[in-house]
Amino acid sequence: MTRKQHGRRARKKRQRECRETTVQSVTLSHEPQFVALRRWLQQRGFSSKLLVPAHFSDTGRGLMTLQPIKADDLVISLPEKCLLTTSTVLRSYIGEYIERWKPPVSPLLALCAFLISERHFGQRAEWKPYIDVLPQKYTCPAYFSDEVINLLPGSLSGKALEQRAVVQELHSSSLDFFSSLQPLFSQPVESVFTHDALRWAWCSVNTRTVYMEHHHSPYMSRERNVYALAPYLDLLNHCPAIQVKASFSHVSRCYEIRSVQGCKRFQQAFICYGPHDNQRLLLEYGFVAPGNPHSVVYVDQVILQQCICITDINQLAQKLLFLKKNDFLANLTLSLDGPSWRLMTALRLLSLKTEQYPFWKSVLLGAVVSQDREEWSVDAALRLCHYLMVDNTRALDKISQLTERADTSLKEQLAVVEWLRREEQGILGLNQEMLQSLQKQLLPSRQNSMHNLV
């Protein structure tokens, strides 16, 4: 079976499993916080009755259709007055403080400061109905302890540490600005703008904003201002197979989402955040998408060095430097279609003997230098799969042990990491099958070559 046939078989199997899974849903439209949110949005011009909030057994909270949606139908149209942007913040009680502050704050910090303030003011907050439906915590790596981050795949754990550091740096560098807001609060600002509060606000903005271009304000830094928090609309969950058209209409002055494929009545309405693999979805949004066709397993330099058989350290260092200079150490992946072209090309380049170095350009064009070098490359790819599968198994065992004594918050984090690890384990198993099949195809050639020598 060819690599492409393997990939199609896996995708069709996952699609069939998705269709066979019965999804249970329970409407949330009568819960007090959603009643208050709808009433608040109606006062701001939102009148759609097509979608209602519901809890789904597979994704959690989402929006359910009350009527069939046809292709190119308007799924949701949220008036500009309902959007929380930096313009909203500048018009608020925080606006005058932002306008006076130098150097100017970033759009992200302005939104975070406003969210923290509104949550603190509680019943007095204008945006209380929206604050009340936001998650209290997130399953983004910014919330992960070292113990949980260590359970992530190597390439992702480094990015998770970076995300945590970004939030920490934003908090520490903003303390003086937060202090300038003291006149607004009866409590010390240190107890309001805590690291935990900023982390919550940062994740709220990072996971829930829609893309919307804004004119530059002289009171904001030069960082791109493309954030818009969209109450109710942000309940729409991600599905990689869905296509929608989403943008702010300068005609209707609404943020609009139109369906490309349509949706049946009483089904969950989805949108697509983009063709993201599960590592990026976990990093940016705090979830993974089961059966994600864009999912890949990443191979970084550390894993390469662990798995390739080159005993000469100097030669290995030279080859890795060559790969780095030619941009062949990044984005090396294994997917449902098998090892990527970049990964196999990198392995073929690493396989070259000293006398074969002049052929490196031919390798980049897809040429096979020799039979034994092709075998070396396939064997190396198999070793990569085995190494990564062992790493996944160890991580899954550790997750199982931690889950037994974890609190609710930790269990949610571990569940997301477990989903990712299991998804990657399935991809690795499929790649192992493909490579073993390819290895068998190469074996007769080797045997024939030896027979001819005799």
Name the amino acid, one letter, at 158.
Answer: G
Q: List 65's β-bridge partners, or say none.
A: 51
Nearest CA to 62 among 84, 29, 18, 37? 29
Is the predicted pLDDT of residue 451 greater than 80, yes or no? no
- Predicted pLDDT at 445: 54
Q: Which residues contact 284 (CB under 8 A, 6 or more apart)?
A: 140, 206, 207, 276
Q: How far apart are CA 115 and CA 109, in angstroms?
A: 10
pTM (two decimals): 0.89
Q: What is the mean pLDDT of residues 193-222?
A: 96
Q: What is the mean pLDDT of residues 24-51?
A: 94
- Predicted pLDDT at 14: 47
Q: Is 337 helix (H, G, I), strand (E, B) or coil?
A: coil
- Predicted pLDDT at 21: 55
Q: Mind listing the pLDDT tens digit for each residue in 352-404?
A: 888 888 878 888 777 788 888 899 999 999 999 999 999 999 999 999 999 99
Q: How many CB atoms lie within 10 A of CB 3?
A: 17
Tokens 């804004």 sit on residue: 214
Q: How many CB atoms lie within 10 A of CB 184?
A: 14
Q: Please give the structure tokens belonging to residue 160.
A: 């998770």
Q: Please give the structure tokens belonging to residue 390.
A: 């062992």
Q: Which residues contact 287 (CB under 8 A, 6 or more apart)?
A: 139, 238, 281, 416
Q: Please give the structure tokens belonging to residue 94.
A: 């925080």
User: How much of the chain exceeds pLDDT 90, in percent?
Assistant: 75
Q: Mind listing the pLDDT tens digit for each residue in 111-131?
A: 999 999 999 999 999 999 999
Is the predicted pLDDT of residue 6 greater than 60, yes or no? no
Element spanning 181, H or E: none
DSSP labels, 218-253:
TTB-SS---EEE-TTGGGPEE-TT--EEEEEETTTT
Radius of gyration of the CA atoms of the chain, in A: 26
Cis geometry, peptide bond prior to residue 103 (ω within 30 degrees of 0): yes
Q: Mind listing the pLDDT tens digit for each residue in 299-355?
A: 998 888 888 877 777 877 888 888 888 888 889 999 999 999 999 989 998 888 888
Q: Mind listing the pLDDT tens digit for each residue in 56-99?
A: 998 899 999 999 999 999 999 999 999 999 999 999 999 999 99
Q: Which residues contact 370 (CB under 8 A, 6 or more apart)?
A: 356
Tokens 């350009």 sit on residue: 361
Answer positive or negative: Cα dihedral of 336, 341, 342, 348.
Answer: positive
Domains recognised in the chain with CATH numbers: 84-229 (3.90.1410.10), 296-441 (no CATH)
- Predicted pLDDT at 321: 86
